[in-house]
Amino acid sequence: MAKLTRIAILTGGGDAPGMNAVIRAVAKKAILEYGAEVIGIEDGYEGLIKGQCRKLGYDDVSGILTLGGTILGTSNTSNPYRYPVKRRNRLEFKDMSTTTIKNISKLNIDGLICIGGDGTLSTASRLSRQGVPIVGIPKTIDNDLRGTDISFGFDSAVYIATEGIDRIHTTAQSHHRVMIVEVMGRSAGWIALHSGIAGGGDIILIPEIPYDPGSVVSRVRKRNEQGRRFSIVVVAEGARPKDGDIAVQRIVKESPDPIRLGGIGFVLGAQIETMMEVETRTVVMGHLQRGGSPTPFDRVLATRLGTQAVDMVQNKRFGYMVGVKGDSLIKVPLEEVAKGPRTVPLNHPLIQAARAVGTCFGD
């Protein structure tokens, strides 16, 4: 088999702790083990569309293991198949996939490693079907990618959210309030579920289980009657009331997924205050969950995923994502990843465990 000589890497979608750790792992393995040249694509697919890239040497990736963000930059609006273009103050969308594929061909690479979530890897799947040699690496703090038990960035996000919940406890107890902590999770409630359990949330609301405001208020009242004069509610941004709608913060027209969620915590707070006389406060964790240094777990996972992806390029295992199954790394077809989000099963052991210790899910 021909030895690996040139490899490219890009980071797409929302940033997540551990992206730089993956870049470091890919570059160092390619350089040290294969003597290969590494090309960094700037700003995700934007760099492929516009031909913006740079060589990554060993020194470029030294010292970035602990850094949040991505040294290559990223974009969650640059889809080669639906690229936003403004003409005469009008937003139009153009298919730039032919240009993208030509630019990839000009790089003369053995393979392209795409680090991203469902949007980035869905695009990677389409490019792969058109002959681009691609290997995917799962990146999402939401942990909602098909084909993998976990993605890097998730552990860091849960840690940050849990720390926020821990800090909320003291002020909730002091002022006898209902404190609502809104965390990320558009269609899957993994962050809310894990951080809610870890932080001792009394009520956890996730997109998979539409909540009844009356059930939430009943739980708060019951706690008050038992002498517990405060309650902690952890809610995913994509949670919604029964027969109600998700809370939309704004619309980003140029994005492939234009709806930006946010504000369900304030909606729920107003509902609680309307139904009972209790002071309610909402804290939105927001992009705090994406920033900062990755946890040790994510650094290790990112290193494993990155080095495995290089081996897959060397072995020409294209059209796959490196996934995690238990303690093992597996190959997952990109077509499978592109089928949609991995949501929390209603019979998941964590839901059962939370219910067993008295946690309310608003149903």
Q: How confident is the model at residue 21 (pLDDT cuts 50, 70, 90)?
A: very high
Its domain, for residue 63, covers 6-152+294-337
Q: How confident is the model at residue 179 (pLDDT cuts 50, 70, 90)?
A: very high
Write the DSSP assignment of 142-186 as a string of letters: T---TT-S--BTHHHHHHHHHHHHHHHHHHHHHHT-EEEEEE--S
The confidence score (pLDDT) of residue 258 equals: 57
CATH number for the domain spanning 147: value is: 3.40.50.450
- What tens digit of pLDDT does each residue of 297-318 get? 999 999 999 999 999 999 999 9
- What tens digit of pLDDT does each residue of 39-80 get? 999 999 999 999 999 999 999 999 999 999 999 999 888 899
Q: How confident is the model at residue 257 (pLDDT cuts 50, 70, 90)?
A: low
Distance CA 29, CA 111 (A): 14
Active site residues: 142
Same domain, 211 and 98: no
Average pLDDT over residues 233-256: 77
Average pLDDT over residues 140-151: 95
Please check the confidence at residue 248 and state whether its pLDDT lies above 80: no
Same domain, 299 and 268: no
Same domain, 24 and 143: yes
- What tens digit of pLDDT does each residue of 89-145 get? 888 889 999 999 999 999 999 999 999 999 999 999 999 999 999 999 999 999 999
For residue 152, count other CB atoms closer than 10 A to its CB: 33
- What tens digit of pLDDT does each residue of 343-352 get? 999 999 999 9
Number of domains forming the structure of the chain: 2
Same domain, 53 and 120: yes
Same domain, 165 and 282: yes
Q: Is 269 domain-assigned?
A: yes
Q: Is 363 domain-assigned?
A: no
